[in-house]
Chains A and B, each alone.
Chain A
């Protein structure tokens, strides 16, 4: 049924349709509305049987999810930013133990400086944690991909993160097509755990493994995650058949045919990018976009194929690996390592800076004219940086950068529009 819903509400409804049995969460912006809505559904008796566990931290949230999943319950949690970092130790345990937990990441920057706005630093920090990572472009896709995530997680017995842009998606109201319970039940079978703590058939889960088998257990984790490269497209195809929508999958090309330039990105910025692509195509410029929908496992062959013959590639990413630059770009470079191709990186949208069509247009024009350096920071205020460097040179005790730079631009606390 078509409804005009907030993204968080749409995700909560979608998760509820998947019949989770345990939801444990600690609220953090911009994830809060998702778990708030789910707690209301549980309390009202609209989602049953399901236990909503209020925990005292994100570390506890993931720990409860691990326990619940090991006991055979379909388990869900959600977090963002510092919350994900705080649960990091347990995040690795969930994947190492092979527990099919589904977790929404309402993507948000990581401090310091503290910042509640959107970028991908949080999810990117856990890219090598052994979790599958799916990125969504719209609230419809967020809703759809959660349904697919439970099936994927449980089939492989691996945890899945669904990454959706905080605020930009979680707090946006837009039209979504909400499936019925019957449709979701037909698509998502009952959870049949591959391992379970059962008093009638006792096992232990979580043995200490020494050098004699640690490599093999880790190798298997890698091999298992790579199986997702086959399973994800199958599930997306099944989903398209059952629900009539293209959601999920590994990658999605947009107008990449004959492109002399393709921009690669993850998440909601693809919508704005596609508007600019259309504009440039209308003007006769051959540009296209490539959405990476699955970042872990990394769909290296699909990306190589999608970029075959494309002479200019720019990866636009919402996270910065301090000391090297792009994260997604390093992976994309691996995919095209068989070619002599300079993949450019643009770091954009950090800490919630809007990515505008005007800035994208300029960036793409620079890319097409081969004016881009290997690493670009979109809309960087160089003057602001230079003045702070100058202050640092002039005084030994020049003080904290963040405070100095805010004072420089005339802002005391964050928040002006």
Chain B
């Protein structure tokens, strides 16, 4: 089982990101379960969503406390919310930022985890460029496909097109592919740079 936790703020598509990830996994013939942290969602409030992916039926309904991957959609949460609690020792982190982990004040994570699995990608900027709006969720899913390989970028883009037919979908696909290329290129470089 592969478990993903997504942190962001209300209005950033945190819940939709988990849904899309589950649809991408489903599309590849796997079982997937996506669910939000349930609450009175409102714009700007911290929001968490979850996605489990497995080759067999997923029965557990508990929130994910030991994720294999963490996506941070909003870097302003970094010193406000315990974002990285429970990450498994060889887990992945993808932060929406153009800065490095050290610049974000997250240098200690590079010591505690495998640095090649900790990446940032300027998803909001890529979204602004391709969508005209700083909605980072689709781009981050492209990045996660490159970082974790738990779903393919092809499945991610199919899920995006299915959810958002027409030009909205195409623009989100472009953002996802750009982020995928970005993380993919970084993965070929030395870690933690």
Contacts and interface: CB of A to CB of B under 8 A. Distances in A.
Give the interface size class of chain A. Answer: 20 to 34
Interface in A331-367: 352, 354-357
Interface in B17-56: 18-19, 22-23, 26-27, 31-40, 45-46, 48
B34 A417 contact: no
B59 A275 contact: yes
A116 B22 CA distance: 25
Given A4-B22, A6-B19, A175-B32, A415 B39 contact: yes
A174 B26 CA distance: 8
B62 A357 contact: yes
A4 B27 CA distance: 9
B81 interface: yes
Contacts of B63: 354, 356
Interface of B: 18-19, 22-23, 26-27, 31-40, 45-46, 48, 58-63, 65, 81
Interface stretch (A44-52, A241-249, A266-274): A266-274
Interface in A138-185: 138, 165, 167-168, 171-175
B59 to A, nearest CB: 3
Interface in A367-417: 414-417
A117 interface: yes
Nearest to B65: A356
Given A172-B33, A174-B33, A175-B32, A354 B46 contact: no
Contacts of B23: 4, 173
A168 B50 CA distance: 12
A173 B32 contact: yes
21 contacts: A2-B26, A30-B38, A116-B38, A165-B61, A167-B38, A168-B35, A171-B38, A172-B33, A173-B22, A173-B33, A174-B22, A175-B31, A268-B61, A270-B59, A271-B59, A356-B62, A356-B63, A414-B40, A415-B40, A416-B46, A417-B37
A283 B40 CA distance: 41
Given A168-B35, A172-B35, A417-B81, A272 B62 contact: yes
A269 B61 CA distance: 7
Interface in A243-301: 268-272, 274-275
Given A271-B60, A275-B59, A354-B62, A171 B26 contact: no
A118 B22 contact: no
A173 B39 CA distance: 17
A173 B19 contact: yes
